Structure 1
């Protein structure tokens, strides 16, 4: 048995090159689109004191050695989010970051430990504006790749069609027959027993130690996500407050938050928010998520105190992160994320 030839082998590179050139064309077009709308591209430091405080986010840890020999821990950033929000606090109103981020515990057809994220922010604008941005980016990517369809593993979506907008509650009802919001109280408290009973009735397995968040994720993975973005993209919006640590609650219903995700061909492409700007509430959520992370993984990450201080100065804003490599995958019909990365990380 012989192993596959490495990516730098000339004949392998020749096969990969058309997709890589399409990647460059898409990146250039997105930068032009943003610049034409007065977005400023910013560079953010990859080394951060905190990589973020989401429960299931895993980071690469490193350390700086000072001239006196002392050491300070750092993390490679999992997103430029904290830095971008500090720039919003400093006075920027439309900005974007287009660069590398790192996430540990992730490797597969749709995951790579080092990947490219496009993140952009609109101060003083509603998060629905980001939904419109996403629709424009799908069409732009398809145009630059010379295709009329986004594809992934036999699934297709029309990048020029207006995306479907579907609330998370509607998705749970449609695809699992579950009344999700009946298990969420107006103050954000959740009823795990009620959700467990609903999963059992829907024929979805549960484990004795599953909490509400575990049950929510299982329905999402097994019943919801595979059915999103077929024929046209789907904007899945109004996540329950417990599943939106960085988003502000909706003025329409306190049980849900201004968070949405963009899907095409069953693949999650982007995650957007009406940004939370209450530092006390943000600290509470971070600490709760780190308690949960310690329960599951036996570790926790520090909280970036500078970020919480900046949050008090940050204007109302909406922000979003898009997995650029995944967008290129769908626009070029690639089967694996490695196929659209110029120099993949060795296994």
Structure 2
């Protein structure tokens, strides 16, 4: 038998007690606002098509059938979004969830662990700014922070990189990256990749230092499941919160059109094929729910381990998790 000394939790018991108190505080926040707590599956028949996310897969072998080829392929969720939207379409009203999520091909470090805790919620008939304000209310409560600074994606690029991301061509993005003097091979990179690199290394380090910052109206090409802005179709109703160098939340005014959502899923799979990635099964349950009638809503996902890390003034998420992957 192999014995190891690495059996202790990565978080101290004192910090785990404080984590539990914060979780209660979060649940009280939603109870006061009449938002229902729900639970949805961790295993799913369909994985996400997003190029930047990779799911863990497993095989369910029914009793008496030991042939892996005959088993049913399932995925561990990267987010509870699809199941929660099905609940909303069924008439649940506003809902939230605290659950485990899983992302493969993720680094293990200060802010990442392949298994992590997500706080996700959806508000019926909320526009993007309403849910941004609610996220801000929660963060002020948990982090004891000042109200968030608001900054559009376009204005952030102009302020920190002196470039307009909605009008710049590829050469302008490449030149902006060269000015950062970072080792990044731009050959073959598309505009989205260049934009995301610039945002990560040219903007994120400078925002949200003293108080949270919300960046909103991301490019439509990075819309994922967000609604396109009617007033400027180059942008989408997507936002992200940052604080003290950490990305904390990603949210949308949700796309509710099933036909448009199918087109985006299919485009994702086409892009996956072009990059040599395997295509993902499209979630027909979600599309059927949307087709039946997904009400106008906004939603947001918060990395709960990161939020608690900042609230408890720690430097890594492992310090507020019972066990990280390395000693799970």
TM-score, with structure 1 as normaliser:
0.86
- Equivalent pairs, count: 317
**Contact 1:294/1:300, CA 8 A, preserved across alignment:** yes
The structure-2 alpha-carbon separation of the partners of 1:323 and 1:84, relative to structure 1 and needing over 3 Å to count, comes to same
Pick from 253, 269, 273 the counterpart of residue 248 of structure 2.
Answer: 269
Q: 1:263: how far off?
A: 0.5
Pick from 19, 41, 63 the counterpart of residue 23 of structure 1.
Answer: 19
Pick from 30, 35, 40 the counterpart of residue 36 of structure 2.
Answer: 40
Residue 175 in 1 paired to residue 160 in 2?
Answer: yes
**Contact 2:35/2:96, CA 8 A, preserved across alignment:** yes
Match of 1:160 in 2: 145
Aligned to 1:115, the other structure's residue is in SS state strand
Match of 2:174 in 1: 196
Q: For 1:257-301, what per-residue CA distance to the aligned partner results, in whole angstroms no more than 9, with x for missing partners? A: 000001100100000100001112112212222233344453222
Q: 1:193: how far off?
A: 4.7
Q: 1:220: how far off?
A: 1.2
Aligned to 1:57, the other structure's residue is in SS state coil
Match of 1:186 in 2: none
Q: 1:85: how far off?
A: 0.3
Q: 1:198: how far off?
A: 5.0
Runs of 4+ that moved beyond 4 A: 197-206
Pick from 303, 323, 326 the counterpart of residue 343 of structure 1.
Answer: 323
Q: For 1:83-137, what per-residue CA distance to the aligned partner results, in whole angstroms no more than 9, with x for missing partners? A: 0000111012200111111111112110011111010000111121221222222
Q: Any residues of structure 2 matched to 1:6-17 within 5 Å, and which? A: 6=6, 8=8, 16-17=12-13
Aligned to 1:182, the other structure's residue is in SS state coil
The structure-2 alpha-carbon separation of the partners of 1:100 and 1:255, relative to structure 1 and needing over 3 Å to count, comes to same
Aligned to 1:346, the other structure's residue is in SS state helix
Aligned to 1:181, the other structure's residue is in SS state coil
Aligned to 1:38, the other structure's residue is in SS state coil
Pick from 206, 224, 237 the counterpart of residue 258 of structure 1.
Answer: 237
Residues in 1 aligned to 2:229 and 2:142: alpha-carbon distance in whole angstroms: 31
Aligned to 2:96, the other structure's residue is in SS state strand
Q: 1:252: how far off?
A: 2.3
Question: RMSD between aligned alpha carbons?
Answer: 2.0
Residues in 1 aligned to 2:88 and 2:284: alpha-carbon distance in whole angstroms: 16
**Contact 1:239/1:256, CA 8 A, preserved across alignment:** yes
Q: Any residues of structure 2 matched to 1:1-347 within 5 Å, and which? A: 6=6, 8=8, 16-67=12-63, 69=65, 70-106=70-106, 107-142=108-143, 159-183=144-168, 192-193=170-171, 195-197=173-175, 199-200=177-178, 205-296=184-275, 298-312=277-291, 313-346=293-326
**Contact 2:45/2:73, CA 8 A, preserved across alignment:** yes
- In structure 2, the gaps of 5 or more residues are none
Aligned to 2:156, the other structure's residue is in SS state helix
Aligned to 2:241, the other structure's residue is in SS state strand
Q: 1:5: how far off?
A: 5.5
Aligned to 1:180, the other structure's residue is in SS state coil
Residues in 2 aligned to 1:201 and 1:253: alpha-carbon distance in whole angstroms: 29
Q: 1:202: how far off?
A: 6.7
Residues in 1 aligned to 2:276 and 2:314: alpha-carbon distance in whole angstroms: 33
The structure-2 alpha-carbon separation of the partners of 1:201 and 1:182, relative to structure 1 and needing over 3 Å to count, comes to farther
- In structure 1, the gaps of 5 or more residues are 143-158, 184-190
Aligned to 1:232, the other structure's residue is in SS state coil
